[in-house]
Structure 1
Amino acid sequence: MKTAVTVLQEMMVKMSQIPDYECISQSGPEHQAMFEYRCAALGAMVTAQARSKKEAKQEAARLMLRALAARGHLVPAPYGLHDRAPDGTGGPAVEAGAGVGVGARQTGQGGEAGGSSSSVSGGSRSYVALLQELGTEYRLPGVEYTLVGDTGPPHLRHFTVQARVGHRTSEATATTKKAARQKAAEQLYTYLRENLARLTADFVEEEALVRAHEKAMERYLESREETRRPDLGQTIADYHLGLVTHIEADKCSESLRQLELGGGEELERMLRVLGLNMQESVLSGGVHVVRIDAQPPLAFAGNDPELPRAAALRYLRRALAQKPPSSASTTSSTTG
């Protein structure tokens, strides 16, 4: 489907004109900036706000198309005055996003009677986040989302999601699971706020969205794992020294001490000291494989489960006993 900017551009070209867009303001902190765009065409002017310039421009174009439709211009669906949005709701479609607020203003100029103005607004705040924060702050049962419907051809799927808080449920349908979940959360959140307004009077939506954003960032940072970078300067002759090159000497000594203690599970104890992970799997044909996420990565295989583990232990014993070459000796051998 063509975007509102494209549809408006094509309409204006047929009239030998072009719409005039201008970014007139930017407000808020850098990580949560709001942009305001103005669009003027055929004597009408509208403004719209969004979290990005692209979204603000698209929203301004959508409002302009509705304004032109109100003036009697033929506007293609679904951007006409009474057309339904692509997501199945009335009015302009706005992409739902966490912690995003979108507002739009539409004003008439010139040909509109009395120069009256009307306001059009579309909400794009994350009701999933708001409902979660509301439940956390007032100790409500956890929110449960369930996909209860999936209909339509592959190119036009319709998903129905049910949101539940305790015994209260709501359902919503949209062309994506994310949009359906947002709508279901919005219905349930609106119901709770309307019926618990006296009890939730201190609940501030903007603060709740900020908290939800901060929690999401914390989870993201906690889930990030430091990626092991390959040693591009390692030569093939020193490949076997890669393990001791990337692990501190005291860890190597402690790991070897664990091997001397015996008692079973030496491999697990050594890897725990070295800070390495091990995965065991069985390939087709009954081949047992042990993989160690060292640098370089290690893999050992055998027809018996104990064979790759024994091979891994022998390798670790030899590798940890090695001493990596000093920079001086490496330089002299390279020069020679």
Structure 2
Amino acid sequence: MSKTPVSILQEMMVKDLSIPAYELIHDGGGSHVNTFTYRVTCNGLTAIGMGRSKKDAKHEAAKAMLKTIAKHRGHLQLPASPAQSPVRTPLPPVVPEVRRIPPNEPFVNAVGVLQDLCVANNLTQPKYELISEVGPPHAKVFTIQCEVSTFKETGVARTKKQAKQDAAKQMLDKLTNLVPQLKTSCDSETIQEENISEEIVKTRYPMLSKLPISKKINVGVKIAEYHIQLKNQFDNEQRQDLIEKLSTITSSSENSIDETYVAMSVEKIQELLKSIDLDMIITTVPSIKDKTLVGMQINTSPNIVEIGLGNTRTEANLDAISKSVNTLIDRLK
């Protein structure tokens, strides 16, 4: 078993027919951050060691004495002891600095604002976690981490509530700096300022309640959840109405290879997509041999992209329409 500095010093002094004399000169003071100090005397030489416990302080004093003896006798410096003194009481962690809020700075409920921002922009809900709690009972310092999607920010304060507010404030600043287009709750304040009642709005704009939520920036949406993003923008009644209208287009076009009819179908689809705030782009793709290829894209999240194949452009358009509409229906179900 490897020897500690106390054991090595003891054996060295026994060979010289003496023993080390240890004296506790500071007992820690009784505070929550105790520090003990030992003084050891050997053959007229003195060394001092400090530690968070008496045992640690005694080991440090013995180590300092071994260095003093080696220097006094002109010996080479002793190598470090392979057996380090066990630290039973670890040193207290560094207390982070708490940001002081100026007295003239108005209070902003950053937690609530961040929550509204995430809802308005289709972001994952904020998650808060207490990651650090240091300091004495009368002066605790808390560190709370805020997580939104893959972003993480921390807040430090004297209370958990204030640390949570600070973390939310840091996250708000990061998100608004990264994506300036994010919507805030101020968009809804315009309606409140005009004092328009809900009944008047419904009377003047009967189709307003039928429209889906405007397209949002899908920041941080998991790829595994893409297929439900479009579906979640509508209630059951709206989705069923859209599915029925789309199904009518596909069923009536199965046996209709007519240029005029295909053009009318494209126009119907574009009008229907416009009512739900979507666009459709049709592109001619370089043909393969004697076949015609047509690409059709609908800007959902992610985009629906289908390729139509036919002997003529009309047939290719019809094939692209059928595939695109069927895919859109699957996303709405």
Q: Which bin holds the TM-score, normalised by the shorter protein?
A: under 0.3
Structure index of larger Rg: 2
TM-score after normalising by structure 2? 0.27
